[in-house]
Chains A and B, each alone.
Chain A
Amino acid sequence: MKTLRVGAMLPFNHAACALAACALAACATSPFQRAGNADDIAGAVARSQPPAASGRSLAFLALAGAAGPRLAEYDLAASRLVWTQPADVTTRVEVGGSVLVHGGKGTTPNGELVARDLATGATLWQHPFPSSDHLYGYALDGDALFVVTRSAASPNKPVGVLAAYDARTGSLRWQALLPSARVAGPAVRGGVVAVPLESQYVLLYDGVTGLALGQVLSTEEAATFVRALPEGLFYGSRGIFLLGRDTARGSRHATGYLAAHLPAFVRPTYDTDRYRPEQNEYSALDRNRVLWRVAVADGRPQFRDGLAFVHDYRFFFAFDASTAALRWAYVSPEDAVASTDTGRSILFASANGEIAALDPITGARIYQAGLPGEVVRGATFDAEGFGPAATAAASSPPDLLASLTAIIADPDQRFPALKLFAIEELGRQPGREVTAKLLQILETEKTSPLAVQKAGEMLVARRDAGALDLLTAALRAHADYSTKRPAPPVEVLARAIGALGPLARAVAPDLDAHLRLPETSPAAAAEIAKALVQIGAGESVPALRDFLTMYRADPGYERDPTALVAAAEALLKLGGSTDRELLLFLAEEPHTAAGLRAHLSRALGETATAAK
């Protein structure tokens, strides 16, 4: 095992770096003069060959718990633990040909890089960073390691550095001074290294020589990440650019650009922000992310199977990337701390040591293994194409209604936006049972006000005449202190019934009953009055009259006469001449709430001709 010090063993060769920069920039004033040159980018992409499939299916698990911090390699295909090594993993594991590299605490303020033998986990070398060097990221291409740092060796002028090492030995192969110190972590694919710079550039280098190959100028969207996949090199932030001739200038109109349509609760970032070194650590960002793969045809990428996947802690969703329609939802019993789209499965590791894979098309669990009793902090997968055939142990595809209901009913308070989404999705599903579930949500005391509002909106919007009996039954369940039964959600029920129009007329007596109950809020009374008009409930006139007279002089309605006004309006529309006389009496009687009197005076005047 060797310990290397960057500052001591790998001094910057400024002359070589300058030469490399000049080759691209022709020694012009700006180092970015060729930024956006499509020919350069096309040439670089042509050099980048798809990596040969390793055929491996490994999971590297950063473990915590009673046994202390460790790193474990788990063979997914064989469902066995390959090795475990004591390791305090800081930044995420990257896997090469026969080596893996991760960050460690080390003894210096800025930590160290640690390389391990893939077969045994034994440490090959450690690479401490002096206080002047800050690690931004690293990537492996076979056993070549590429590291981006910002070096502040000269206090007033930090510089960005891309360095290439032999990953097995830790020896330097080359290094390049980047044109800016605003650097980000790299990605490497088939001999081409991509480094985001200054948020809008992606610089491409030959992995073997360090020669600059091209510069992307992202004109419409920040380039906060670069990512290497078998299907190509990608960059972007809120969308994805497939590196190529047409994306050399980062236009969203380019055929190489794509972004999924996703619901509002999703944080639509397609990878970690490589400008933020802390995002190299295993963190909550690994538990809340978009998973994606693409299929490329004629240089035009499309989301594979038209799907984009969302990992949100314990929940996984598949969305139609073009419509945001939910295809499936999977609920894991534990937080998934890491996940990846292998191209053939959605693979994840849970905090309790479970490792599982889901069928990307159906959401069925097609693989399950793990390390029971372990505490998993984070994980990296080297399992391209891992997608075991479903066995007898596989689960059936998750039932969408059951998954959505489980999300809504989950007592975990961390996901308010997700719950609103689940309620909305639930409301979009057909069937009486959905109406029943929405009613259940509305009647559950622990439901948050926002969730109640959303469930109410969905209940009203679905206009489920086939579930009128359910609405009626809900309405009939009056509050009862002696049986601890709360009042039904009358306001929403009235709106939902009103939305059904005359089809719901039979419910009028049940609505009337609530006008006469003490627990009926003024807001609910107003909705009842409106609903009675919508369903054309002429038989409800007596209840409206009773409500109006009972409360017309109530000081509570003096402040806000909305309910009285709604009842008066309903009486005007549903009642006859006798009711106009009552309204006239109320309009003129001095004890009547001023707001109602004013409204009645106006309304009676406006409808006088029609009444005649």
Chain B
Amino acid sequence: MAAGGVARATASQSPAPSQPQLEDAPHAARKSKGARGDKAGKGDRASRPGTPVLAADRVEALRLALVGADDDAAIEAAATLSASGAPGAAEPLCEVLAAGAAPARLQAVLDAMAKLGEAHQLRADQTTLDALSLYSGHRAPDVRRRALKALGTVNDPRATPPLLEALGDAASDVRAAAAEALAARHEGRAARRMFALLSMGDAGVAGPLAALATPDMVPQIAELTGTIDDGVIADALGDYVKRADVPDKLRIDVLRTIGGLSGAVATTALVDYVASVPAKEDRASKKEAQKLLDQRSASQ
């Protein structure tokens, strides 16, 4: 968490009416300031071939728009920065987080950071991590969800604890965002808590849990039948069988469990599975899924 304070770290960089000069700014702030200093994108990523480049004066103009009075202009600037995918595009966005803003602007900034992250243009520096971690604890779920999504794209183990913590969030979409990020990071430590959430009927973790579940968890998921909505179980198991690392024999068992579940989600899971197997591949599990589908059709 922001040991030195995110505000202290980067608020000084905003062109606000009276800009605080932080002589004793912590490491993260100085680092960030330095990054702003090489606006043209000097640094490790700038030298990567094929990396988009945004002119320094353009970055500065966008930075001013981001922190200016006009919300619409700020939101547009955030979108432009993210679309550029340019190195250094994240720093002005971080400045907004450090100085604070109204929710609409915050959301645009966080979306932009997530987009940069997806394009591998979000540097795993302490300032960025601190800012995103801080906003993952914001009172507004929409802000938290976006912060977690952006945090999930940061390829650094320091991003994991806030994501794990967010599995206990009161808002289901926030938990889902954290779960998806953790699944994408193959964070096996999250599987148990995701299972706990699934057993409470939390549909948002079904897919992520399927990505992380170990074979021993599959029977446990199946045993939730009758305690939570069949659709949630079908969702989790349906995603699980599509994993490449699952033995086909286990797939058949799982597909049979799905076949025993009621509702359209179970049917969809079987259809999806059949569709996910390449046409030329002759899998016993595919035949089993088709058979189960035929049986479901016959029983209608």
Which residues of A come within 8 Å of B, CB atoms?
478-483, 485, 513, 516-520, 541-543, 545-546, 548-556, 578, 581-582, 584-585, 588-591
On whether the beta carbons of B20 and A550 are closer than 8 Å, the reply is no
On whether the beta carbons of A483 and B168 are closer than 8 Å, the reply is yes
On whether the beta carbons of B19 and A585 are closer than 8 Å, the reply is yes
Extra 11 A-B pairs, beta carbons < 8 Å, given A543-B5, A554-B102: A481-B170, A482-B196, A518-B137, A546-B7, A548-B7, A549-B100, A554-B140, A555-B102, A555-B103, A556-B139, A581-B21
Can you offer 9 A-B residue contacts whose CB atoms are under 8 A? A479-B168, A480-B168, A545-B6, A545-B7, A549-B7, A550-B134, A550-B138, A553-B101, A554-B102
Interface segment out of the listed B10-18, B48-56, B152-160, B254-262: B10-18
On whether the beta carbons of B8 and A542 are closer than 8 Å, the reply is yes
* B203 contacts across to A, CB distance below 8 A: none
Q: A582-B11, A585-B18, A588-B16 are in contact. Are A518 and B138 (CB under 8 A)?
A: yes
| Complex alpha-carbon distance, A548 and B137, angstroms | 14
The 6 closest A-B pairs by CB, nearest first: A542-B5, A581-B20, A480-B168, A549-B100, A549-B7, A588-B17
On whether the beta carbons of B134 and A516 are closer than 8 Å, the reply is yes
* B23 contacts across to A, CB distance below 8 A: 578
* A542 contacts across to B, CB distance below 8 A: 2-5, 7-8
* A485 contacts across to B, CB distance below 8 A: 168
* A546 contacts across to B, CB distance below 8 A: 2, 5-7, 134
| Complex alpha-carbon distance, A555 and B140, angstroms | 11
Q: Which of A518, A520, A591 neighbours the largest number of chain B CB atoms within 10 Å of its CB?
A: A518
On whether the beta carbons of A591 and B8 are closer than 8 Å, the reply is no
On whether the beta carbons of B103 and A578 are closer than 8 Å, the reply is no
* A520 contacts across to B, CB distance below 8 A: 139
CB distance from A597 to the nearest CB of B (A): 11
On whether the beta carbons of A517 and B137 are closer than 8 Å, the reply is yes
* A513 contacts across to B, CB distance below 8 A: 1
| Complex alpha-carbon distance, A10 and B221, angstroms | 87
CB distance from B188 to the nearest CB of A (A): 16
| Complex alpha-carbon distance, A517 and B136, angstroms | 9
* B200 contacts across to A, CB distance below 8 A: 482
| Complex alpha-carbon distance, A465 and B107, angstroms | 43
Q: Which of B24, B135, B144, B167 contacts A482 (CB 8 A)?
A: B167
Q: Which of A543, A549, A554 contacts B103 (CB 8 A)?
A: A554
* B22 contacts across to A, CB distance below 8 A: 578, 581
User: Residue B175 at the A interface, CB < 8 A?
Assistant: yes
Q: Which of B11, B18, B139, B196 contacts A549 (CB 8 A)?
A: B11
Q: Which of B21, B99, B140, B168 contacts A481 (CB 8 A)?
A: B168
* B4 contacts across to A, CB distance below 8 A: 542
User: Residue B292 at the A interface, CB < 8 A?
Assistant: no
On whether the beta carbons of A550 and B16 are closer than 8 Å, the reply is no
Instruction: Render B119-157 as a binary contact track against A, CB cut-off 8 A, 1 for contact.
Output: 000000000000000110111110010000000000000
* B6 contacts across to A, CB distance below 8 A: 545-546, 549-550
On whether the beta carbons of A582 and B7 are closer than 8 Å, the reply is yes
On whether the beta carbons of B18 and A588 are closer than 8 Å, the reply is yes
Nearest neighbor of A478 in chain B, beta-carbon distance:
B168
Nearest neighbor of B195 in chain A, beta-carbon distance:
A482
* A548 contacts across to B, CB distance below 8 A: 7, 100
On whether the beta carbons of B168 and A551 are closer than 8 Å, the reply is no
* A483 contacts across to B, CB distance below 8 A: 168, 196
Instruction: Render B89-108 as a binary contact track against A, CB cut-off 8 A, 1 for contact.
Output: 00000000011111100000
* B16 contacts across to A, CB distance below 8 A: 585, 588-589
On whether the beta carbons of B169 and A541 are closer than 8 Å, the reply is no
| Complex alpha-carbon distance, A56 and B169, angstroms | 68
CB distance from A481 to the nearest CB of B (A): 5
On whether the beta carbons of B103 and A516 are closer than 8 Å, the reply is no
Q: A481-B175, A483-B196, A518-B170 are in contact. Are A551 and B5 (CB under 8 A)?
A: no
| Complex alpha-carbon distance, A72 and B99, angstroms | 81
| Complex alpha-carbon distance, A368 and B241, angstroms | 68
* B139 contacts across to A, CB distance below 8 A: 518, 520, 551, 554, 556
Instruction: Render B167-191 as a binary contact track against A, CB cut-off 8 A, 1 for contact.
Output: 1111000010000000000000000
* B144 contacts across to A, CB distance below 8 A: 518
| Complex alpha-carbon distance, A286 and B18, angstroms | 73
On whether the beta carbons of B17 and A585 are closer than 8 Å, the reply is yes
* A552 contacts across to B, CB distance below 8 A: 100
Nearest neighbor of A540 in chain B, beta-carbon distance:
B5
| Complex alpha-carbon distance, A585 and B140, angstroms | 24
CB distance from B117 to the nearest CB of A (A): 20
Nearest neighbor of A548 in chain B, beta-carbon distance:
B7
* B14 contacts across to A, CB distance below 8 A: 585
On whether the beta carbons of B8 and A585 are closer than 8 Å, the reply is no
| Complex alpha-carbon distance, A9 and B150, angstroms | 99
* A555 contacts across to B, CB distance below 8 A: 102-103
CB distance from B231 to the nearest CB of A (A): 20
| Complex alpha-carbon distance, A585 and B156, angstroms | 33
* B168 contacts across to A, CB distance below 8 A: 478-483, 485
On whether the beta carbons of A578 and B20 are closer than 8 Å, the reply is yes
Nearest neighbor of A556 in chain B, beta-carbon distance:
B139
* B193 contacts across to A, CB distance below 8 A: 482
Nearest neighbor of B130 in chain A, beta-carbon distance:
A546
* B2 contacts across to A, CB distance below 8 A: 516, 542, 546
User: Residue B244 at the A interface, CB < 8 A?
Assistant: no
Q: A549-B11, A549-B100, A554-B103 are in contact. Are A578 and B17 (CB under 8 A)?
A: no
| Complex alpha-carbon distance, A548 and B23, angstroms | 20
| Complex alpha-carbon distance, A520 and B102, angstroms | 19
* B5 contacts across to A, CB distance below 8 A: 541-543, 545-546
User: Residue B279 at the A interface, CB < 8 A?
Assistant: no
On whether the beta carbons of B169 and A481 are closer than 8 Å, the reply is yes
CB distance from A566 to the nearest CB of B (A): 16
On whether the beta carbons of B20 and A585 are closer than 8 Å, the reply is yes
* A578 contacts across to B, CB distance below 8 A: 8, 20, 22-24
On whether the beta carbons of A550 and B100 are closer than 8 Å, the reply is yes
User: Residue B298 at the A interface, CB < 8 A?
Assistant: no
CB distance from A563 to the nearest CB of B (A): 10
Nearest neighbor of A582 in chain B, beta-carbon distance:
B20
Q: A482-B196, A585-B17 are in contact. Are A549 and B167 (CB under 8 A)?
A: no
On whether the beta carbons of A590 and B69 are closer than 8 Å, the reply is yes
CB distance from B281 to the nearest CB of A (A): 38
User: Residue B197 at the A interface, CB < 8 A?
Assistant: yes
